[in-house]
Amino acid sequence: MGISATRCHECGANLRFSLVALSKKLSGVLGEYESPVTSALLVANILMFGVSLVLTMQTGEAGGFHILTGISGQATFRLGMNLPFGFILQDHQWWRLVTAMFLHGGLIHIGLNMMSLMQIGPALEELYGSARYFFLYVFTGALGFLASSLTGHISLGASGALLGLVGAMIAVTSKRGGSFMRDLRSRLITSVVILFAIGFMGAFRIDNAAHLGGFAAGFVIGKIYVDREPMNARERQTASILGWLAGAVLVASFVFMLLHFSDPLPGQ
């Protein structure tokens, strides 16, 4: 289509105000033309870590090497960490299922998760397209935290969504033949088994419930998704709806977080 075109001549997508247009602008700003959503998620996680670190400093809990593993619980509570289901149900704080995936407990936590995101995310975003990939990330992360909440955990981090990406990738390899796909599937499954084993041993406070919920949701979506970008008007429309739905849920969740930011802490 022409460089000055305002609409796609095939599907009618608005090239000035749509997920496509937003992805183009993000890719120009972030310098990543293949995976703008992955890059945006990376930036969002880093920004939220910066905010939580500032709040931790205000409470006097960020001295020395504390930054590596010790972000203030007060800061993460106000910024939307996930809580046991009884609390969420009683106070209708469903938005925590989404905001929690952008919070981390320390520099080591966010460092490991963001390295995983940049290793896995670009390949799936290129495969599915930015809109469906964005929905996959947000949906699996939220379901992971729902599983965590139902089992009574207090949790945060991007790992539920990341396990959702791994689940989707395993689903992709299960639908394809060849030695490379078998080898990739074997390595992914081995990594997941090791991660769950470490969690069962109680090391590093790993939340197996969030990981399992995200992984299962990602595997199911990976089985449902067609393993390519949308190719016709109907597929593009469906993908756009999923992308905008994920975006609306994300924005609404952060709006509710800001509205409840000054709520009394538990026990006050």
Does the annotation mark 159 as catalytic? yes
Nearest to 228 by CA among 145, 146, 127: 127
Does the annotation mark 104 as catalytic? no
> What is the pLDDT averaged over residues 123-144?
95
Catalytic residue (choose from 159, 174, 179, 240): 159
Tens digits of per-residue pLDDT, 3-18?
A: 567 677 666 666 665 6
Tens digits of per-residue pLDDT, 72-106?
A: 888 899 999 999 998 898 888 999 999 999 999 88
Inter-residue contact 243 to 19 (CB < 8 Å) = yes
Catalytic residue (choose from 211, 240, 253, 262): 211
The dihedral built from the CA positions of residue 174, 219, 162 and 148, taken in this order, carries a sign that is negative
pLDDT of residue 84: 93
User: Going from the N-terminus, what domains does the chain have, and what CATH number goes with each?
Assistant: 19-259 (1.20.1540.10)
pLDDT of residue 13: 66
Whole-Å CA distances, 54 to 59, 68, 69, 100, 266 = 9, 14, 15, 17, 21
Map residue 25 onto helix, strand or coil. helix
Tens digits of per-residue pLDDT, 58-68?
A: 877 655 566 66
The confidence band for 123, taking pLDDT boundaries of 50, 70 and 90, is: very high
